[in-house]
Amino acid sequence: MRFLDLHCDTVTECRKRRLSVKCNPLHLDFDRGAAFSEWVQTFAVWIPDELRGDAAWSYYLDNAAFFECECSESGATVCRTYDEIRNALADGKCAAVFAVEGGAVLGGRINRLYELYRIGVRILTLTWNAENELGFGCQSAGGRLKPFGTDVVRAMDELGMIADVSHLDRVGFYDVLDTSRRPVLASHSTSAAVLERTRKDGTDKVFSVRRALDDGQIRALSERGGLIGLNFCRSFLGDSPDDGFDAALRHASHILEIGGESVLAVGSDFDGCEIHPELAGIEYIPRLYAYFTEHGFSRVLCEKIFFENGLHFFKNVL
Ligand SMILES: [Zn+2]
């Protein structure tokens, strides 16, 4: 099968634990990904909220250098354009797309955005959970996108970089949609309405619902040609013991119902969070695909979710 994933944290996790991206006991590695007939994988470098300024930038550079070595040793192709993705797939290689999770990487300096672009980064998640120089994350006080955030989004539009609103506060989310003239990405998110329906209680509920997309956001992304990667994180899917494939199906169905068939893709969040055992590894993707087809999704729809919607998005935006 063909697979396109919009988000994983495998790079920072491997570097932290001194493991290889080629073969490891984590959620994802190049060896297991090679089982797909075609495989496009977004690899994010996650910037922890404790890091700001030059510390965030040098943390990024260390991780990027590590990952470039891992890619060249494993034969994965770092793709900067849609044509490079097509060529990598035609050669039977992993088409790796570089991302950074956390606009704090820029340290408030726009020239670092141009440097990221030169290195090959094509997706920037504007915030992580806290406030940064661009705006407010979903776990911060919340508020408008800051002037520097507006400058960054405009510069990304000009460069052909993708603004990723996963983790952003709701107010900031709409500011990004108002500022950008391009399709916007929520690389790894779930549905707030489904979470509110299925979760009973718990202190984590507030955060997971704030982190998720409400129906208005899903509709707004869809109307703008945007894309939502379905997050497999256990607490973002739900919290009952059977929240594996079943919960993924609930969120996928709702997002499709609100946003239509072209808005949904996969943003696994592999190696970035705790995942239900049914979904906890790239090797389980074909089983999820089969589960979706056994529960009312057509093969045509599954091809869109697991591959084609993401590829079309990259074609439009890169
Ligand atoms: Zn994340």
pLDDT at 75: 87
Q: Ligand 1 centre and the CA of 210: distance in Å?
A: 13
Q: Ligand 1 centre and the CA of 294: distance in Å?
A: 29
Q: Ligand 1 centre and the CA of 144: distance in Å?
A: 20
pLDDT at 61: 97
Instruction: Check residues 207 and 124 and name the one with the higher pLDDT.
Output: 124
pLDDT at 216 over 80: yes
Q: What is the mean pLDDT of residues 98-118?
A: 97
pLDDT at 18: 96
> Which of these, 229, 233, 188, 191, lies nearest to 209 by C-alpha position?
191
- Domain of 102, CATH number, reads 3.20.20.140
pTM for this entry: 0.96
pLDDT at 153: 98
Q: Ligand 1 centre and the CA of 1: distance in Å?
A: 26
Q: Ligand 1 centre and the CA of 130: distance in Å?
A: 12
pLDDT band at 269 (very low <50, low <70, confident <90, very high): very high
Q: What is the mean pLDDT of residues 226-251?
A: 90
Given a contact cutoff of 8 angstroms between Cβ atoms, the answer to whether 85 and 97 are in contact is yes
Q: Ligand 1 centre and the CA of 168: distance in Å?
A: 10
pLDDT in tens, 45-101: 999 999 999 999 999 999 999 999 999 989 899 999 999 999 999 999 999 999 999
Q: Ligand 1 centre and the CA of 147: distance in Å?
A: 23
Q: Ligand 1 centre and the CA of 117: distance in Å?
A: 21
pLDDT at 186 over 80: yes
Q: What is the mean pLDDT of residues 281-293?
A: 98
Which range marks the domain in which residue 149 is found? 2-317
pLDDT at 201: 56
pLDDT in tens, 187-209: 999 999 998 887 665 555 677 88
pLDDT at 242: 72
* Total number of domains in the chain: 1
